Structure 1
Amino acid sequence: METISFSSIGVRIEEGVTYKLGGYGVEGEIYAVYHTYLDLISSTYLSKNDIYGEITISKLSPSIIAGTFSFDAITEGGGKVEVREGRFDLQRL
């Protein structure tokens, strides 16, 4: 199984804006986390400031957030994953 999540500290998200992805837990940046789980083994890949990554918010309303994303992420051990042409369309709670 694979999961992708995005998080930010102190970033105001706006519709129609493309954001460069930054490092994990850095204030003022959005970052991506890519997890893989296979046969009880998990790996975590994180976006970084110095590698490619972006997320575009195409729709932002009180009930919906939608957009696209592409990024590279790495593990502490140097493993790398490339995620391309991702999209999301979520209901906000």
Structure 2
Amino acid sequence: MKHLSNRIFGEVATPTNSKSMKVVKIFSARPLHTNEEIIHYYPRHVETGKLMMNLRSYGLFRDEHQDFKEEMKRLRELRGKVKVWRRLQNKKTE
């Protein structure tokens, strides 16, 4: 009766060792691509970055690293060391 009950309810019908039970447990578990905990594990970096850039343009967020890069670029321009694309540089000389 136990054997029939196990077959009806999708459990292991015959006695198995622990290794085989591990495989049975893996296959009886929910598939990984439908598991919400795995799908939404990583934060939304692209959307967060765009949001922070918009907030920065409105003056509501300070990105000190971006401020530093812009300041270094401004100082390079003041010293006359602006990086120019070669393609643009060739068009100006022609």
Q: Same fold (TM over 0.5)?
A: no
Select the structure with the greater relative contact order (CA < 8 A; seq sep ≥ 6).
Answer: 1
Structure with bigger helix share is: 2
Give the TM-score normalised by structure 1: 0.17
Please tell me whether Structure 1 or Structure 2 has the larger radius of gyration of its CA atoms. Answer: 2
